[in-house]
Amino acid sequence: MGWAEPRQSASVSATFILVNSIAGLFGETMSVHALPSAAPLWAGAVVVGGCLGSELGARQFAEVTLRRLLAVVLALAGLKLLFIRR
């Protein structure tokens, strides 16, 4: 069917999330002219989580584990989109 491998899907997903997050932060900054005071803490958590996730995904987790984790992340994102309104 032409689907990507789990590692490739995870890589593309991570890149999309990074670009989407940067765009969201830019939009937030433009609308309120400031970021929340906790932004540096969140940025640190992002760096640590990204490094840990990259290491685990590239070297530690089996392909089936990556598939299951990706399915959970996509399901949570879909549920959030359906049920959480602003």
Give the pLDDT of residue 72: 93
pTM: 0.61
d(CA 59, CA 54): 8
Give the pLDDT of residue 1: 61
Residues of the chain with pLDDT under 50: none
Specify the length of the chain in residues: 86
- Going from N- to C-terminal start, the domains of the chain cover 61-86
Identify the DSSP state of 59: I
